[in-house]
Amino acid sequence: MFPSLFTHTSLTLPLEDPILKFLLILVIILAAPLLLNKLKIPYLLGLIIAGAVIGPHGLNLVLRDSSIILSGTAGLLYIMFLSGLDMDMSDFRHNAWRSLVFGLYTFCVPLALGILAGYYVLGFSIYSSILLAGLFASQTLIAYPIVSKLGIARDKAVTIAVGGTVITDTLALLLLTVIVGMATGNVDDMFWWRLAGSVALCIAIIVVLFPLLAHWFFKQVSDNISQYIFVLAMVFLGSFLAQLAGLEPIIGAFLTGIALNPLIPRTSPLMNRIEFVGNAIFIPFFLIGVGMLIDYRAFFRDWESLEVAAVMIVLITAAKYIAAWLTQKSFRLSPDQRTVIFGLSSAHVAATLAAVMVGYNVILGYTPEGEPIRLLNESVLNGTILMILATCTVSTFATQRGAHNIAVKQNRPPEVKTPRQEDHILIPVAHEESADELVGLSAMLKRAGEPNGLYALHAIDNKADDPNVEKQARKVLDAAAKAAAAADIYLQELLRYDVNITNAIVSVARERSITDIVMGMHLTAPVVPALPGIPGIPGPPSPAIGKMAVDILTQSNVTTFLYRPVQPVNTIKRHLIVVPEKAEQEAGFQLWMRRIRLLAENSGAKIALLAPESTLEYLRPKGRKRPANIDVVPFSQWDDIPSLEHDLRDDDCLWFVMSRRDRVSYHPSMSRIPSLLEHLFAGYSAILLYPVQAGDTESRYIRAGI
C-alpha cells in the first residue's frame, strides 16, 4: 500500500511537481549565502549561478515557466520599489541635480560608444546601432540588496546611483520606443504628443494620487496584513500604469517607492515586513530567474555571438566606469563611492532584456530566402545573455567591495570621542490599545538598526488580590512586545508590583539607567470659565496632565515624552515643535535635540522648530549636517499659544518643549497648554516634551510646570 503514496509524484526532468520545484528553489535560497560567504563570493552572484545550473540550459531541473517569470518580475519590481522606499527623501531632493548629472553621464557616454561600435565595428545599420547603444545605456540595480544589507542605502553615492538609474533607464526606454517607431514608420506628429501626455499623466497619478490614497488607507486600517497587501498592490498598480504610458514597469515601481516613502518610516513594522518578504522570497526568485536565461552554449555557438558579446562587455564596462569616474570628479566623491556607483550602474538585466527582445521581435523585411531581417539579430540576443552574466559578476564584486569599505569607515569608532551612551527607553503601558503607538514613537526616537534598548513596564498595586490582574498585565506587555518585534526590535517586558505606578516607573528608570520615558498623555482638564479674550477656551492653570505624570516629572529627571496619539504616527506629515526661550541653557537640550534629529531621519516627516530668535541659532547644529527636513521658524508668541491654530494642518503633530517650574526656560503660559490640548487642539496628535534639567530632582518643592 505504501508505493501508492508516490503514484501522483513525477520525478521526471524537468520537474513538474510544484512542491518539488518550490522546495528546490528554497534550498538554493537557503544554501547559497551560507556556502558562498565562506568563499567570499557575493550571494547575489551565487543565486544567478545556481539559476544557470538548474535552468533549462544547465541540468534542466526547472523550466523558466510562468511561475518563475511571475515571481522574478515581482522581485525586480521589489528591488526598484525598495530603492525608492529606502531613500532619504530630504537627501534625495538635495542630490537631485547630482542624480540628474550622473544619469546624463551614464546615458550619454554608453550611447556614444554604442553607436560608434555598432555602426563601425559590428557593421549594423544606424537604427540597429542606436538601439544597441540604448542597451549599453540602460542598467539594473541588481546589487542594491548589498548596499541595503550593509546599511549604507542612504549614502550619497547610493542616492546618486539610484536616482541616476531611473533617469538613464527612462531615457533608454524612451529611445527604444522612438527608434522602433521610426524603424517601422509609425512616428508622426501625434506620436510625440501621445508619448509626452501618457508619461506626464502616469507620473502625476503615482506621485500625487498614490500618497493621498495610502495616507487615507493607513489612517483607516491598522491591520498589519492588510497594510502590506495594500502596499504590494500599489507597487503593481504603479508598474502597470508605467507600462500603459510606454515606460518600463520598473520606473513605476520606483516612483511608487518615492511616493510612499514618507508614509513608511524606516523603523516601522510595515517597513520590516516589506524588506523581509522581498529579501526572503521575491528578490532571490528574480536572481535565480536571471540565471536561467544564461546559456553557456552561446560561448561555442558561433564567432559572431562571441564577437558581439566581447564588444558589448568591454564597451559597457568601460562606459559605466567612465561615467562613475566623471561623477566622482564632478562632486568630489571618494574612490569607494565611485566604486559603489560603478557597481550599481554596471549590471544589465531588466531594461536590457526588454529592449533586446523588442528589437529582436521587430521584423523589417525578409531576405530572398525568406529569412526575417530583424532590427537586432540573433547574435545580439546571444551576446546579451553573455553580457548579463559578465556585468552581473562585475556589479556584485564592485558593489560588495566599495560598500564594505564605506560601511567599515562609517562604523569605525571615533578615536577622540568618548563612547556614546546606549539608548534605554522606558515605555509604561497600561492598555493594549495604546501599546502600538507608544512603541512606534519610541522606535522613531532611537537609532535605526539597533535592535535593543526598549523596555515596556506594566505596574501592579502590590495590594491587589485579583488573580486576573496579572493575566491582563501579561496581555498588555505581549501587545507591546509584538509591536516592537514587528519592527525587528527586541523589547524587554517588565512586570512590577509596587506601592503605586509612579514609584514603579521611577524605580525602574533608576535601576535600568533609563535615558528616556515615553508614556501616554491622560488629560484631565476641568471645565472652568473661559480665558479672557479666548471665548470657549478653558483655563486657568491646573494640573491637567494628571497626578501620576506630575509625580513622575517631580521624582525623575530623564527626558520624558507625554504622547497623545490622535492618528497613527506614520501618517504624520509634519511635526511642529514649539521651543521656549533659553531652552538651550537646560542640561538636557542636546539630548532631546538628538531625539528630534533621529525622528527626522527615521520618519521622513517634516520637522518645524518654532523658537524665539535668541534660541534659533542653537537649533542649527554647527559642525554637523542637519537633516534637510528640519526647518527653524521664528516664534515668540508664548503668551498667545492659540494663534498656532492658524498654522496647523491636517496630519500635524503639535509638540511643546516644557519646563519644570522655576527652571531657566519656564514660561507661565506652559500651565495652560494641557487645557489647550484638551479643547482647542483636540483634533491633533500632541506631545509634551520634558527635558533633563539641572537641580535637586528629589526635592518635593520642585514641581512640574503644568
Partner residues linked to 456 by β-bridges? 427, 493
pLDDT at 51 over 80: yes
**Cell 527635558 maps to which residue?**
691
Q: Find out whether 427 and 453 touch, Cβ atoms under 8 Å.
A: no
| 425 domain-assigned | no
Among the candidates 379, 407, 435, a domain finishes at: 407
Percent of residues, the chain, with pLDDT higher than 70: 87
The one-letter amino acid code at 132 reads L
Among 178-192, 321-335, 485-499, the least confident range: 178-192
Express each pLDDT in 11-36 by its tens digit.
677 787 888 888 888 898 888 777 77
Express each pLDDT in 356-410 by its tens digit.
766 776 777 777 777 777 777 777 777 777 787 788 888 888 998 998 888 888 7
Domain that holds residue 355: 13-407
> Which pLDDT belongs to residue 519?
92
CA separation for the pair 508, 494 (Å, rounded): 9
For the residues 631-635, what does the mean pLDDT come to?
89
Among 16-30, 37-51, 582-596, the least confident range: 37-51
> Which pLDDT belongs to residue 10?
56
CA separation for the pair 591, 583 (Å, rounded): 12
| 257 domain-assigned | yes
> Which pLDDT belongs to residue 408?
84
Top pLDDT among 41 and 652 is at 652
Please list the alpha-helical segments (H only) found in 445-537. 468-486, 501-511
CA separation for the pair 584, 478 (Å, rounded): 39
CB atoms within 10 A of CB 437: 22
| 489 domain-assigned | no
Partner residues linked to 652 by β-bridges? 574
| 617 domain-assigned | yes
What is the pLDDT confidence band of residue 2, given thresholds at 50, 70 and 90? very low
Q: How many residues does the chain have?
A: 706
DSSP 8-class letter at 279: I
Partner residues linked to 633 by β-bridges? 610
Percent of residues, the chain, with pLDDT higher than 90: 19
606-611 vs 630-634, strand pairing mode: parallel
| 269 domain-assigned | yes
Express each pLDDT in 110-129 by its tens digit.
999 989 988 888 888 888 88
CA separation for the pair 18, 561 (Å, rounded): 53
> Which pLDDT belongs to residue 230?
94
Instruction: Please provide residue 180's backbone torsions phi and psi, each rounded to the nearest 5 degrees.
Output: -60, -40
pLDDT at 291 over 50: yes
CB atoms within 10 A of CB 82: 27
Express each pLDDT in 296-309 by its tens digit.
666 666 677 788 88
> Which pLDDT belongs to residue 276?
86
Among 79-93, 94-108, 199-213, the least confident range: 79-93
What is the pLDDT confidence band of residue 553, given thresholds at 50, 70 and 90? confident
The one-letter amino acid code at 15 reads L
CA separation for the pair 82, 275 (Å, rounded): 8
Q: Which three cell numbers stand for residue 145?
A: 540588496
For the residues 202-219, what does the mean pLDDT come to?
91
> Which pLDDT belongs to residue 252?
86
**What ranges make up the beta strands (E) of 121-168?**
none
Residues 6+ apart with CB under 8 A from 329: none
Q: Could you give the 3-state DSSP secondary structure of residue 290?
A: helix
CB atoms within 10 A of CB 449: 10
Q: How far is CA 437 from the centre of its chain?
A: 20
**Number of domains into which the chain is organized:** 2
Edge-to-edge, what's the strand order for the sheet holding 606-611?
491-498, 454-461, 425-428, 516-520, 559-564, 685-690, 652-657, 574-578, 606-611, 630-634
Top pLDDT among 535 and 83 is at 83
Express each pLDDT in 132-141 by its tens digit.
888 888 888 7
| 458 domain-assigned | no
CA separation for the pair 569, 444 (Å, rounded): 9
For the residues 516-528, what does the mean pLDDT come to?
69
**Kind plus residue range of the DSSP H or E element containing 443:** helix 432-444
pLDDT at 209 over 90: yes
Among the candidates 407, 431, 453, a domain finishes at: 407
Rounded to a whole number of angstroms, the distance between the first and last alpha carbons of the chain is: 80
CA separation for the pair 250, 228 (Å, rounded): 19
> Which pLDDT belongs to residue 108?
92
Q: Find out whether 92 and 159 touch, Cβ atoms under 8 Å.
A: yes
Partner residues linked to 657 by β-bridges? 689
**Kind plus residue range of the DSSP H or E element containing 531:** strand 530-531
On the question of a cis peptide bond just before residue 145, with omega within 30 degrees of 0, the verdict is no
pLDDT at 322 over 90: yes
Q: Is 392 left (phi over 0), alpha (psi -120 to 50) or beta?
A: alpha
pLDDT at 7 over 60: no
CB atoms within 10 A of CB 447: 14
Can you say whether the dihedral through the CA atoms of 331, 334, 338, 340 is positive or negative? negative
Task: State the DSSP string of 640-674.
Answer: GGGGGGGG--TTEEEEEE--BTTSTT--GGGGGHH
Task: State the DSSP string of 343-378.
Answer: HHHH---HHHHHHHHHHHH-EEEE-TTS-EEESS-H
Express each pLDDT in 150-204 by its tens digit.
878 778 888 888 888 878 877 887 787 788 777 776 677 777 788 888 888 998 9
CA separation for the pair 140, 136 (Å, rounded): 11
∠ CA 104-108-114, nearest 5°, is 150
CA separation for the pair 385, 439 (Å, rounded): 49
**Kind plus residue range of the DSSP H or E element containing 678:** helix 673-678
CA separation for the pair 594, 591 (Å, rounded): 5
* CATH number of the CATH domain containing 701: 3.40.50
For the residues 621-643, what does the mean pLDDT come to?
76
The one-letter amino acid code at 608 reads A
Q: Could you give the 3-state DSSP secondary structure of residue 607?
A: strand
> Which pLDDT belongs to residue 696?
45
Helix/strand number for the chain, H first, E second: 26, 14
Top pLDDT among 183 and 477 is at 477
Residues 6+ apart with CB under 8 A from 181: 187, 191
Average pLDDT score over the chain: 81
User: Can you give the C-alpha Rg of the chain in angstroms?
Assistant: 30
> Which pLDDT belongs to residue 11?
66
For the residues 587-597, what does the mean pLDDT come to?
91
On the question of a cis peptide bond just before residue 642, with omega within 30 degrees of 0, the verdict is no
Can you say whether the dihedral through the CA atoms of 315, 319, 320, 321 is positive or negative? positive
* CATH number of the CATH domain containing 209: 1.20.1530.20
| 558 domain-assigned | no
The candidate with the shortest Cα–Cα distance to 303, out of 368, 386, 236, is: 386
Q: Could you give the 3-state DSSP secondary structure of residue 690?
A: strand
The candidate with the shortest Cα–Cα distance to 608, out of 644, 639, 581, 641, is: 644
| 239 domain-assigned | yes
CA separation for the pair 556, 531 (Å, rounded): 32
Residues 6+ apart with CB under 8 A from 669: 638, 639, 641
Q: Find out whether 616 and 550 touch, Cβ atoms under 8 Å.
A: no
CB atoms within 10 A of CB 26: 13
Q: Which three cell numbers stand for residue 202?
A: 502616469
Q: Find out whether 122 and 116 touch, Cβ atoms under 8 Å.
A: no
The one-letter amino acid code at 426 reads L
Among the candidates 407, 440, 471, a domain finishes at: 407
Express each pLDDT in 227-251 by its tens digit.
999 999 999 999 999 888 877 787 7
CA separation for the pair 78, 95 (Å, rounded): 23
For the residues 523-528, what does the mean pLDDT come to?
47
> Which pLDDT belongs to residue 414?
44
Torsion of CA 702, 703, 704, 706, to 10 degrees: -150
